[in-house]
A and B are shown apart, each in its own frame.
Chain A
């Protein structure tokens, strides 16, 4: 039964004299090689030169803080359940009195780890997050020498207060519009924190 038309008969035809001395073929190859000397090199000299990347490039993750500086992540596990590579693990802690400025809600991620070797940078965690806590950024994951160093904990993932990471480019217009809707608990907190800025203790 013939399945495709790509069948090819193998031939063991005897080579001609020109083919047997190989010289024409070698010369042909040399000409191709030499012609590349006069072409523009496609190599990009990273890290001196960087390729332009899309504003929604999916690189290293960040765990965002809110405007007042409290961690947004509540350790709900939606990112971990959405993760097709099972790269995310976490344990939760309970916020104590007096820690309101550190954590946004009564539950927070005590540890939060992403295995960057497992991660396929698909962005599903970002999509699953109900608290706008995790975002992928346009940063590249660092080179490491040990496998264990690729397991990023909260020290590497949570954004630093003095180095805030702007993710507004990544938020779709639908999300930005949603955030303007008043009367939603999510935005209530957002608005209240805006008002309370400075008053926080």
Chain B
């Protein structure tokens, strides 16, 4: 099926959503997402961040769709024309969505462990207004310990349902979910039941904000002071492909690897995530790829060895002593 997104035509198979088609073209035209997660079935459709304008429904029926549509839930049609970044109305509407998402979200980024890798923070910076118009008190909750390792800050939750989908699709029996409706909706466990499943730690990785965080990493360090490296281990329960966040030789945190859309590639088990906090537990592959736009990329050198070889070559040409042989 031929579909045009922001003036770029692409051929995609039937059943592809607009979002997936846009992602095939590239990050410049792909709409941002908060609740959609490529590895979780039936995710998406809650946050409205990915709204786009369909200016031509299909080749057969070229009437435009009357309202912006959620691109993660709308399948493409033959000859569909979609506008995302080139349509001012879409950007304005998305700014409104950001304002809605931030309505009850506390501005405690200086305290929050997610800051620096938070989807909502990025979204706010790229699409939001600098000030808020909201004058009413934000809803507040006490923070809840979900088991030994996971902390729930309900105040920061934006109700994306990703963690619920993880529990549904990765674990056998879900013990947490969304209670109440509308404004009063909240993530809760049955009478603060402990999530004890082996894969339950993945709720931390899928959480786009700092609502679900790793208690073993709580306030240890800001993410941009840690060095992300890709590592693996032989794990029977999961693929064992992880990202270590290190400070010196210390492993401060273990997470799943994220792809360019910030979504976990392989889900990892709790043992890998919470127990293996020694460098000797892991086979380190090398520095992770971090986008240049991310604050984490400061002081992060992905091609250090090449850089070092280059410097050595230059210094040798200038008659310097070998770096490695210096006293």
Say whether A184 contacts B132, CB under 8 Å: yes
> Interface majority SS on B: helix, strand, loop or mixed?
loop
Instruction: Tell me if A105 counts as interface (CB < 8 A to partner B).
Output: yes
Chain A residues with CB under 8 A of B225: 77, 80-81
Q: How distant is the Cα of A99 from the Cα of B132 in the complex, in angstroms?
A: 30
Q: Which A residues are in CB contact (< 8 Å) with B220?
A: 92
CB of B224 within 8 A of CB of A74, answer no
Please tell me which one of the listed residues B106, B218, B222, B295 contacts residue A185 in the complex, with CB atoms under 8 A apart.
B106
Bound-complex Cα distance A74 to B111 (A): 6
Given the known inter-chain contacts A77-B222, A94-B219, please indicate yes or no for A105 contacting B111, CB distance below 8 A: yes
Does A139 belong to the interface (CB within 8 Å)? no
Q: Which residues of A contact B219 (CB under 8 A)?
A: 75, 92-94, 107
Q: Which of B109, B132, B218, B224 contacts A81 (CB 8 A)?
A: B224
**In the assembly, what is the distance between CA of A14 and CA of B184, in Å?**
99
What is the bound-complex CA distance between A155 and B109, given in angstroms?
26
Q: Could you say which interface size class chain B belongs to?
A: 20 to 34
- What are the residues of chain B within 8 A of A106 when measuring CB–CB? 111
Inside 8 A of B115's CB, which chain A residues have their CB?
A: 76
Q: Is the CB of B109 within 8 A of A76?
A: yes
Range for the number of chain A residues in contact with chain B: 10 to 19
Within the complex, which residue of A78, A91, A93 is in contact with B110, where a contact is CB–CB below 8 Å?
A: A78
Other-chain residue from B106, B108, B132, B224 in contact with A77 (beta carbon distance below 8 A) = B224
Kindly provide the distance from the CB of A11 to the nearest chain B CB, expressed in whole angstroms.
Answer: 35
Measured between C-beta atoms, what is the minimum distance from B316 to chain A in Å?
Answer: 29
Residue-wise, chain A 97-139 has the 8 Å CB interface mask toward B (1 for contact) of 0000000011100000000000000000000001100000000
- Residues in B neighbouring A81, C-beta threshold 8 A: 222, 224-225, 295, 298
In the complex, A183 has a CB within 8 A of chain B: yes
B171 CB to nearest A CB, Å: 29
- Measured between alpha carbons, how far is A195 from B218 in the docked complex, in Å? 32
Q: Mark B212-235, 1 if CB is under 8 A from A, else 0.
A: 000000111110110000000000
Tell whether, in the assembled complex, residue B135 and residue A76 are in contact, meaning their CB atoms are under 8 Å apart.
Answer: no
Q: Which of B106-124 contact A (CB under 8 A)?
A: 106-111, 115
Chain B residues with CB under 8 Å of A78's CB are 110
CA distance A157 to B219 in the complex (A): 21
Which partner residue on chain B sits nearest A92 by CB separation? B219
Cα A94 to Cα B135 in complex, Å, equals 29
A:32-89 near B, CB below 8 Å:
74-78, 80-81
B residues 234-263 with Cβ under 8 Å of A?
A: none
Q: Report chain A residues within 8 Å CB of B221.
A: 91-92
Tell me whether A76 and B107 are in contact in the complex, defined as CB-CB below 8 angstroms, given that A81-B224, A93-B219 are known contacts: no
Closest to B224 in A: A81
Which chain A residues lie closer than 8 Å to B222 at the CB level? 76-77, 81
A75 to B220, alpha carbons, bound, how many Å? 11
Q: Across the interface, which residues of A come within 8 angstroms of B109, CB to CB? A: 76, 130
Write the nearest CB–CB distance from A3 to chain B, whole angstroms: 23
Question: Does A74 lie within 8 Å of B110, measured CB to CB?
Answer: yes
User: With A and B bound together, what is the CA distance between A84 and B208 in angstroms?
Assistant: 30
Interface residues of B in 192-218 (CB under 8 A from A): 218
Instruction: Tell me the smallest distance from the CB of B108 to a CB of chain A, in Å.
Output: 7
What are 15 residue pairs bridging A and B, where the CB atoms are less than 8 Å apart in the complex? Answer: A74-B111, A76-B111, A78-B110, A80-B225, A81-B224, A81-B298, A91-B221, A92-B219, A93-B219, A107-B111, A183-B134, A184-B132, A185-B106, A185-B107, A185-B138
Known contacts A75-B219, A105-B108, A106-B111, then 12 further A-B pairs from the complex at CB < 8 Å, ordered by chain A residue: A74-B111, A76-B109, A76-B110, A76-B115, A77-B222, A77-B224, A81-B222, A81-B225, A81-B295, A91-B221, A94-B219, A185-B107
The 9 closest A-B pairs by CB, nearest first: A76-B110, A77-B222, A92-B219, A107-B111, A183-B135, A74-B110, A74-B111, A130-B110, A107-B219
